[in-house]
Amino acid sequence: MDGLILALFVFAAFAGGFVSGFSGFAMGLVVSGVWLHIITPIQTAALIAGYGLLTQGYGILKLRQALDWQKIWPLVLGTTIGIPIGVILLNHINPIYLRFGVGVLLVLYTVYGLARPAFKPMEIAAGPDIGIGIVNGLVGGLTGLGGVVSTISCQWRGWTRDVQRAVFQPVLFAAFVVISISMGITGAFTPETLKLYGLGLPFMLAGLWSGFKLYGTIDDETFRKVVLVLLLLAGLSLIATALIARGP
């Protein structure tokens, strides 16, 4: 890896850590925009899974006082069930149209959310929450965005920013555990990938720390809008990749 490629790699690691520290998610969205151009897709996916355990674990540690396992477990259980089902369905569903459809829905939802005040808070019981978690896992298995649905559902509740993150970050951590185990079984964590992980680790940690420092300065409404903007970017990314894969 020459000097320029290395600089791009560690810059993306820092940026991904910063966004994750600030918002609690979207690290993979940020780093993949750079890494897919300089390392292999398998290495990118493996690094996102490995760093995802770090970023979500760090967030859980920082927000441990706000953790409420009664809110967390239904989404974690559903997500854990949904991810392998989504991966299996990849063999039977055209991923191009799926990504395009999910991307369009995300764009519509986020544009609507940005154009109006916050949603009226909802009360969602454990049973429906497990269903939301299954959908979250399905979308993750089919598109690679394992926390989109759970993050949106946390916004629906009208919770404070800390409570939202103290729920959707453990859900994302569980998703990354499932993904990491699956990738480990397939041999994705090669010595070269582990070397890249070590190179990016200090920059990812520096970004995480910086992002959390900035997070401490914003209010709940600003956090809501930041999450919506990141979800909008995720939707646009899905649409773009679907259109590129479809070709002319």
Is the pLDDT confidence value at 215 over 90?
Answer: yes
Is the pLDDT confidence value at 117 over 80?
Answer: no
Residue 85 CA, chain-centre distance (Å), reads 18
- Mean of all residue pLDDT scores within the chain: 91
Place of tokens 């409404």: 221
Burial class of residue 186 (count of CB atoms within 10 Å of its CB; 0-12, 13-18, 19+) = exposed
Nearest-angstrom CA–CA distance, 67 and 56: 13
Per-residue pLDDT reduced to its tens digit, 77-99: 999 999 999 888 877 888 788 88
Distances (CA, A) of 239 to 36, 96, 106, 245: 17, 9, 10, 10
Task: Please tell me the predicted confidence (pLDDT) of residue 21.
Answer: 96
Task: Please tell me the predicted confidence (pLDDT) of residue 126.
Answer: 93
Task: Please tell me the predicted confidence (pLDDT) of residue 190.
Answer: 94
Is the pLDDT confidence value at 248 over 70?
Answer: no
pTM for the whole structure = 0.89
User: In sequence order, what E strands does 99-165 have?
Assistant: none
